[in-house]
Structure 1
Amino acid sequence: MIIFTYDKTFDGLLSCVFFAYEQKIFPDSILAEDGQKPLFVDASYHVVTEKEKAVRVWKSLEKKLSRFARNMMLSVWLSELPETEMLLFRYIRKNTDHRKGIEMNFGDDDVLRIKDIALKVGTDARKLIQFVRFQETADGIYFAPVTPSYNVLSLIVPHFKARYADQPWIIYDTRRNTGLYYDRRSVTEISFSPQTLSELRLGILDKEKVSEEEALFQQLWKEYFRSITIKERLNPKVQRAHMPRRYWKYLTELQ
């Protein structure tokens, strides 16, 4: 078995592709440099990420693949599934070796798997846009904790920058302990301490951390939700179908 190790970045993966063709060595597995290696290995190569080489690989893909196909590749990368590295490596290799590329060859298992994962990642991003709930903090920042199945925060930034361009906000992925802070000008990646993270995973901020107006509106919204509820027509099964349960802890009306 031949394995490549790399720094777990997308540029690093593209550098692995360049290294494979440069050295004419093709891996059976691609692992993070600090990951656990298989017991039996014939050869192991550590691939250093080189931006220039990564760009060359990407530009070659631009000649073979449509923008839609390249976006699907990026979505697969954001899925963070264990199979991601080798799936993308095989997909890139097949498109590189084929004269016209294999983007439309749906008889190929890797093409179908790329499409399937990209669809799931895209669905996760759309649901996040639909169900994210902001809470105004005491210092005037609109804060929304989330737990997406995939690492999709980067996919939803354009929507929220356009939709809430005039107010500062934070969307925080409590599963991956990373978030995005928008200060009305640019978006910055942030992370919180483990203690703060444990509090955020509860979904709703403590009363002392939200603004007085936010606390008032939360109470009004709960009362409104209760007043319009018709108990005889409650249908939890349908409710879960339209609003997945994993989003419930972020909904004020369900607290």
Structure 2
Amino acid sequence: MIYTYDGSFFGYLSAVFDGWHDGLAQIEDICPREGEGSLFGETRFVPTDNGKAQRILDALLEKCGPKTCHYLYYAFLSDAAGTGLPLLQYLRLAFYYKKEFLYHLSDEPIWTVRQWARRTGNERHKLLGLARFQELSDGLLYCRLRPTCCVVPVMAPHFVRRFPAERWVIHDAGRHFGVYYDTEEAVLVTIPQVLPQPQLSGEEKAIEKAWRDYYRTIAIPARRNEALRRSYMPKKYWPSLIEMK
């Protein structure tokens, strides 16, 4: 049986809950509804059930501690190929080892999930420093990114603390969704694939021009080191950086 879900973390946990209830031996895969399901296997779509997902998280937190939940969530956000079964095996081992779980890195599913989680954490750390907000004509602060991992949801709490009195949105252009903050609450929103060019405020245009001029002025051609720059500012992020446009 191939269990499919809506692509969300709680959707995945809902599919795990149903698969566990039906019998782990008959689970062939757990993947998003738009994923790589087999053409020949029986498929069952599991709707998201927050109650089922919360039961798994509460049990995991109680038996294994918060770090185990953290690694599970960050590994899910890595968007690596074929995460469904390794994450399930990670959960099975977590409930087996309980409080000793984090010491069993020699188990392949545990090590693999930790590496996926590290990838997500590293990209989140990089983008917290590279994210650029632009002020639009209506005062909204807009940040457009195209990350490899699905890090926008775990970046949002940092900017809620940093800009508590501002309206802003962080747009994941590759996944067509974002986090919108209205000075009170941060929510996930769907963003159309085709958007009109954002209308920047007059002050934003002046600031961007001044920043690009400053960036070019302080550069020392004789000390240009492209390899070092790419190590701190990976080239895949350049389209989102004002100074690189």
The TM-score with structure 1 as length reference comes to: 0.86
Match status 1:146 vs 2:134? no
2:235 & 2:177 partners in 1: Cα distance?
22
Match status 1:222 vs 2:212? yes
Deviation digits for residues 204-242 of structure 1, max 9, x if unmatched? x5xxx1111111111212222222221111111111111
* C-alpha contact (below 8 Å) 1:64/1:101 kept by paired residues: no
Residues 25 and 245 (structure 1), Cα distance of their counterparts in 2 relative to 1, 3 Å cut = closer
Identity across matched positions, percent:
29
Q: CA deviation at 1:56?
A: 2.3
Q: CA deviation at 1:13?
A: 2.7
1:230 & 1:215 partners in 2: Cα distance?
25
Corresponding residue for 2:87?
Answer: 88
2:240 & 2:185 partners in 1: Cα distance?
26
Written as runs of structure 1 = structure 2, the 5 A alignment for 1:58-137 is: 58-98=57-97, 100=99, 102-137=101-136
* C-alpha contact (below 8 Å) 1:180/1:188 kept by paired residues: yes
Instruction: State the Cα RMSD in Å.
Output: 2.2
Count of aligned pairs: 244
Residues 216 and 122 (structure 1), Cα distance of their counterparts in 2 relative to 1, 3 Å cut = same
Residues 144 and 13 (structure 1), Cα distance of their counterparts in 2 relative to 1, 3 Å cut = closer
Corresponding residue for 2:156?
Answer: 157
Residues 85 and 212 (structure 1), Cα distance of their counterparts in 2 relative to 1, 3 Å cut = same
1:248 & 1:227 partners in 2: Cα distance?
19
Q: CA deviation at 1:152?
A: 0.9
* C-alpha contact (below 8 Å) 1:135/1:214 kept by paired residues: yes
1:111 & 1:122 partners in 2: Cα distance?
16
**Which of 240, 243, 246 is the aligned partner of 2:230?**
240
Residues 113 and 231 (structure 1), Cα distance of their counterparts in 2 relative to 1, 3 Å cut = same
**3-state SS of 1:144 partner:** strand
Deviation digits for residues 78-118 of structure 1, max 9, x if unmatched? 12222221111111112224465533201100111111110
Amino acid across the alignment from 1:135 = Q
Q: CA deviation at 1:48?
A: 4.5
* C-alpha contact (below 8 Å) 1:4/1:46 kept by paired residues: yes
Written as runs of structure 1 = structure 2, the 5 A alignment for 1:147-226 is: 147-196=146-195, 199=197, 209-226=199-216
1:7 & 1:54 partners in 2: Cα distance?
13
* C-alpha contact (below 8 Å) 1:143/1:169 kept by paired residues: yes
Give unpaired runs (5+ residues) of structure 1.
200-204
1:193 & 1:169 partners in 2: Cα distance?
17
Residues 183 and 102 (structure 1), Cα distance of their counterparts in 2 relative to 1, 3 Å cut = same
Q: CA deviation at 1:132?
A: 0.4
* C-alpha contact (below 8 Å) 2:167/2:183 kept by paired residues: yes
1:49 & 1:168 partners in 2: Cα distance?
29
Moved over 6 A (4+): none
1:48 & 1:210 partners in 2: Cα distance?
40
Amino acid across the alignment from 2:9 = F
Deviates more, 1:184-193 or 1:172-181: 184-193
2:77 & 2:239 partners in 1: Cα distance?
24
Q: Point out the structure with max Rg over C-alpha.
A: 1
Q: CA deviation at 1:186?
A: 1.3
Amino acid across the alignment from 1:67 = P
